[in-house]
Copies of this chain bind each other. A is one copy, B any other.
Amino acid sequence: MNHTAHTIEKAVKEIADEMRERADRGEVAHYIPELARVDPKHFGIVVIDDHGHVACGGDADMPFSIQSVSKVFTLTLALGRYGDRLWQRVGREPSGSAFNSIVQLEYEKGIPRNPFINAGAIAVTDMILSGHQPREALGEILRFMRFLANDHSVTIDEAVAASEQRTGFRNIALANYMKSFGVIENPADLTLGVYFHQCAIAMSCRQLATAGRYLAHNGRNPETGMSVVHPERARRINAVMLTCGHYDGSGEFAYRVGLPGKSGVGGGILAIAPGKASIAVWSPGLDANGNSHLGRIALEALTKKLGWSIFGV
């Protein structure tokens, strides 16, 4: 273990210890009944540096519902298939509104603002589905996640998927609203079926941090050398994560943490320190914008300790 790895380990350990003690834990997402049962006491963190050294803290190996963190990977998949044509159907500007806002869709003729709000992610999933059966599309997504996480045990939590399918009325509304503008090509219920399952993928911080390594290292996994995307594309996905990755809390995350990141209502956040590390944190309690409360605080502490903000040395 080199000097840097040691510093990272120390920081991760301190943060995990501090987070364990904190009383303010946010509120667990209650609108997906299955997620509402998760214990808010959990906290996990994993940092994987450029040499592949893994620093863990807390519940680093406990799987959680990655939810919207999956949007980073489906965007990567869809860009691989469609290239820049993808941007004809989804914008890449921050929305200035909540993750499930439908107002913007009416004003902008069904084109979602970016691929990381719900509407945009549903549109991206619809593109992945086109020309396939839902089962195939979902299989492709799951295989991609296992490949990136380098772990074939990654799986879908069917109870969570079923819970969302029963209660995800706002997502059904978003999909049908886009369909009325022709932005969704497949039957809305099929697209949503894939979408709800992709959100229900369960991963641990270790798996998630592993999966994100290509974004930290110019599009390829530095250990295997395997290329996932072109370097420019990796940079651009990071840029979209920075401006749009935390819904209407994206500015706040950039301001406090200073790293590209993507959160999910399951309480997970994937953050990328370009050239340095891939980071996953998990704490189920959310803040008012639907982002992990302690997750953000932990990442702020981490970048401060390690001087990893992309906005200054």
Which residues of A are in contact with B by a Cβ distance under 8 Å? Answer: 91-97, 101-107, 113-114, 169-170, 172-177, 179-180, 188, 218-219, 231-232, 234-236, 238-240, 242-244, 248-252, 254-255, 258, 260, 274-275, 304, 309-313
Contact = CB atoms under 8 A, between A and B. Distances in A.
A312 B102 contact: no
Contact of A92 (B107, B232, B244, B251): B251
Given A96-B96, A274-B312, A176 B180 contact: no
Contacts of A236: 255, 258, 311
A311 B235 contact: yes
Nearest to A257: B239
Contacts of A107: 103
Contact of A93 (B235, B252, B313): B252
Contact of A313 (B104, B218, B242, B252): B218
B251 A91 contact: yes
This chain's copy number in the assembly? 4
Contacts of A255: 92, 236, 239-240, 243
B101 A113 contact: no
B249 A93 contact: yes
Nearest to A275: B313
Contacts of A244: 251
Contact of A101 (B106, B188, B240, B249): B106
- The 9 A-B residue pairs whose C-beta atoms are closest, nearest first, are A96-B96, A94-B94, A235-B312, A93-B251, A238-B311, A173-B177, A169-B180, A173-B176, A235-B311
B312 A94 contact: no
A296 to B, nearest CB: 14
15 contacts: A93-B252, A94-B94, A94-B96, A114-B251, A170-B176, A170-B177, A170-B180, A173-B174, A173-B176, A235-B258, A238-B312, A243-B250, A260-B311, A274-B312, A275-B313
